[in-house]
Amino acid sequence: MYRLLTAAALLAGLWACAEPQRPAQTPADETRAAEARPMGTLGLNAAHMDPDVRPQDDFFTYVNGGWVETTEIPPDRSRWGSFDELTERAEEDVLAILAEAAADTTAPAGSDTRKIGDLFTSFMDDATINSRGMAPLADALADIDALDSHAALAAYWGNTRRTRSTAPLGFTVGQDQAQSDRYITIVGQSGLGLPDREYYLARDERSRLLLARYQAHITELFMLAGLSEPGQAARRVVEVETGIAEAHWTRVQNRDRTATYNPMSLRALTDMAPGFDWQAYFAAGDLGDIESLVVRQPDYLQKLAQWHQELSLEHWQDYHRYHLLRSFAPYLPAAFAEAHFDFFGRTLNGQPEMRLRERRGVALVQSVLGFMVGKAYVERHFQPEAQARMDAMVANLLVAFGQAIDELEWMTEQTKREAHAKLALFNTKIGYPDVWRDYDCVHIDAADLVGNLLRSAACEHERNVNRLGQPIDREEWFITPQTVNAYYAPSMNEIVFPAAILQPPFFNVEADDAINYGAIGAVIGHEITHGFDDQGRRSDGEGNLRDWWTSEDAEQFSARAQRMVEQYNAYQPIEDMTINGALTLGENIADLGGLRVAYRAYQLSLDGQPAPVIDGYDGSQRFFLGFGQIWRIKYREEALRRQLMTGPHSPGPYRVRGVLSNMPEFYAAFDVEPGDELYRPEDERVRIW
């Protein structure tokens, strides 16, 4: 699969990408009805709580301990939590849409219904898939066999975006971070089969064993495909990927928006990284006439340009055969799909069972025709009343953030004026796009699953490269309405909240304002704060990379950010692993700043009137209860290890503990005192926004 940083990957999201959804009969079935209906006037499921735990010591368990104790992670999941429960609900709704479309024999050819139904049918027709075997990949494998020079290899790499394969580098066309009113080509590192470079380079016993299992997985795919000398070929693939990993930038390095923004001409790139046919590479990707581009990791491209010639074509051919098989294994006969799941599901994430086929079909259709499905989803499931209430809450939080800027003692007036100017230009999108994505160029054949995927990839490639020279599409969304997430796009300077997240426990039209401000209010505040986190602060209100900070204020910000890094570095979710405070810094800043501004906005919503006491909780306490419940989650150990190694977000329990230990408002609400486990001395608490 193509892995270069895409436009969507430049976003600052609320949660990591959801893992594959689970089948019917889930714990979500029990919580869905309970949370969708009014829960008194509280908006909180008391059965999820553990009253035997003191909130001053462990607020996550106080709010979620009952749920943690009684909930089992479903067998086809590596984690289970509030995001997964809502994703399950959205998937059930989408499955109904797909099943109806597949059964509709009267839908005209080329219509949305026919396309959605035929794509779902092509995946569900396992008899045809099994009977065709490897035949759908015959031409693609022949292209790899035909590679007869390193010059031909460069052209092949330029074409991989169109073929759903991968290469050690890749490109996309996205907004120019320093000139946000234009599109530009962006090129950078890619090419690994495992989630991160550390999987190849770590020398501990667990890591070495996992790498050996990965090589065995590659061998199995080669054997299933009938390729010669599968064991030796698999060894060569691991050699190639280890070399790539050694040159890769780390995830912390890749967070740096300034270091990864290196504009240059194609001629300058050729001079900087000689030994690779850059002209052939970009021409194969339909970008032969580009004049300027952005390089994300310059020294990686320099090393790759030289190193790729040192490896034999046999190494590269084995590498590309594997990645072709890896990309299409879930859509080939059952033995390939099981082999793919056995490693990437069971071994890598600790997931005991594969999802039911119909659920995998939902994921497939959403990956190909996501916004077409989203249009039908919104028509059936978006609550219009949510729009108006969200509009009011967003407006209130923007006011609250402006007030918070004014009260910062450490920031000079000059930088405050710039911060206000950026805040005034924030754009907000709620629910669904005003303009839906066009899929006219995708031809869907109910009897040709692999062909559907290839045609879709070619269509998306064409859509992407055709942006060059065009005005910025301000109507574009980077995630679908049925996605349970939210994001801030720095080059757009906008915050986006899809329809699917506007449900309990994040947003409950029956709950009082305290609960909603603590839940969806914290989400809104989180995304606003991303515009001012350690990377978001580098852009101005127009979305352009620009240093609008005085040197004094930048130093003050960095000192506070470093204290937050050190705080989270000290958390140890697993005995031999801690949170990476540098990797998670942006999300941790957004969590803390977001909850602070949400609390302020809640106080503004009271308009000077006292909040009622409901079920024994005052308004401030209900606010924090609303926040705590949205982070309920359980992990399998393998998934938690992967989260700690690669994820930009802290694990759910620490998103609660880390934030609340820095908030005086929480201390006042629950009488937190010295000696309590969540207590931090006042001079150790972090406040940035």
Tell me if 514 sits within 8 A of 599, measured CB to CB: no
Residue from 63, 40, 28 nearest 626 by CA: 63
Task: Read off the pTM.
Answer: 0.93
Phi-psi region of 578 (alpha: psi -120 to 50; beta: other; left: phi over 0): beta
> What does the pLDDT read at residue 510?
85
Main-chain phi, psi angles of 74, to 5 degrees: -55, 150
Superfamily of domain 48-77+386-426+493-684: Collagenase (Catalytic Domain) (3.40.390.10)
* Spatial distance between the Cα atoms of 582 and 270, rounded to a whole number of angstroms: 33
Q: Which residue has the tokens 């055709």?
A: 466
* Spatial distance between the Cα atoms of 248 and 254, rounded to a whole number of angstroms: 10
**What percent of the chain clears pLDDT 90, i.e. is strictly above it?**
91
- Where do the domains of the chain lie? 48-77+386-426+493-684, 145-331
> What does the pLDDT read at residue 509?
85
Q: How many CA atoms lie within 13 A of 113 on its CB side?
A: 11
* Spatial distance between the Cα atoms of 614 and 42, rounded to a whole number of angstroms: 7
**Residue-wise pLDDT tens digits, 425-450:** 999 999 999 999 999 999 999 999 99
Q: Which residue has the tokens 């949305």?
A: 112
* Spatial distance between the Cα atoms of 390 and 486, rounded to a whole number of angstroms: 13
> What does the pLDDT read at residue 81?
97
Tell me if 122 sits within 8 A of 449, measured CB to CB: yes
Class of domain 145-331: mainly alpha
> What does the pLDDT read at residue 385?
83
> What does the pLDDT read at residue 1?
32
**Residue-wise pLDDT tens digits, 260-308:** 999 999 999 999 999 999 999 999 999 999 989 999 999 999 999 999 9
What's the sign of the alpha-carbon dihedral 381, 385, 391, 392? Answer: negative
Helices then strands, counting H and E runs in the chain, come out as 29, 10
Give pLDDT < 50 ranges for the chain: 1-9, 17-41
Which contacts (CB < 8 Å, 24+ apart) does range 377-381 have? 377/90, 377/93, 377/94, 377/97, 377/481, 377/482, 377/499, 377/500, 378/431, 378/432, 378/481, 378/499, 380/93, 380/97, 381/93, 381/499
Order of strands, sheet of 179-189, starting from the edge strand that comes earlier in the sequence: 169-176, 179-189, 292-295, 262-265
